[in-house]
Amino acid sequence: MENNTNNNMNEMKANSYDWSGDSTYSTSTVQDASNTNWDNAERMRSKKSISKLLWGSVAGGLLGATAVLIADRATREDVWKGTVKVKDKTVSLVSSAVSDPNSFVDQVEETSTHVSQIMAEAADNMKNAKSKVNELKDTSSEALGIMQEAKTEVQNAGGKLMEAGKEVTSGGASNNRTM
C-alpha cells in the first residue's frame, strides 16, 4: 500500500512541474517566434530556390560543355555553328532594341499578333480534322455494318448453294438407280 502511495505522489510531482522556473524554457522564445518577420523568411526561402536553380543551370552547362568536348569533331563543329548563330541573333535583337526601342516593340507586337493568328488557324484546322475523323468513324461504322450484312447474305447464299448441290447430287443418284 505504501508503495502505491509513493508512486501516486511521484506521478503528481511529474504532472505538476513548474515550467516557468525552468532555465531552458523562457517566454522570450515564444515572443521571438511571434515577432518573426515571415515575409523575410519567405524571401530567404525564395533566394535559396533561385540559388539552387542558378547552381543547377551552371552544373547543367558544365555537363553539356563536357559532353560536347567528348563528342566527335563533326558534332563539336555543329554545336559551335549553332552557338554562333544564336549569339549573332541575340546581338542583333539587343542592338535593334537599344537603337530603336519603339520599332522593336512594334515588331514584337506585330510578330505576336501574327503568331496568334497562326495559332487560331491551327486550332481551326485541328477542329476541322477532328470533325473529319468523326465523320470517317461514323462512315466506317456504317460500312462495317453493311459489310457484315453482306457477309451474312453470302453465307446464307453459300448455305443454299450447298443445299442445292446436295439436292442435285442426291436427286441425280436416285434418278440413275431408277433407269
| Mean pLDDT taken over the chain | 76
124 pLDDT exceeds 70? yes
Contact 99, 105 (CB under 8 A): no
Range of the domain at 76: 51-99
Residue 135: in which H helix or E strand, if any? helix 101-178
CA atoms within 13 A on the CB side of 81: 6
Number of H helices, E strands in the chain: 5, 0
Rounded Cα distance, 62 and 56, in Å: 10
Taking residue 93's Cβ as centre, other Cβ atoms within 10 Å add up to: 13
Contact 68, 79 (CB under 8 A): yes
How do residues 8-60 score in pLDDT, each as one tens digit? 555 555 455 555 555 555 555 555 555 556 666 676 776 677 778 788 888 88
Task: Give how many domains the chain has, as a whole number.
Answer: 1
pTM of the shown model: 0.35
Q: Locate 41 and state its grid cell.
A: 523568411
Contact 60, 66 (CB under 8 A): no
Rounded Cα distance, 70 and 25, in Å: 60
Residue 148 in domain: no
Residue 163 in domain: no
Instruction: Please enumerate in sequence order all residues whose Cβ is within 8 A of that of 25, keeping only pairs 6 or more positions apart, or say none.
Output: 19
How do residues 77-86 score in pLDDT, each as one tens digit? 888 899 899 9
Phi and psi at residue 6, to the nearest 5°: -65, -40
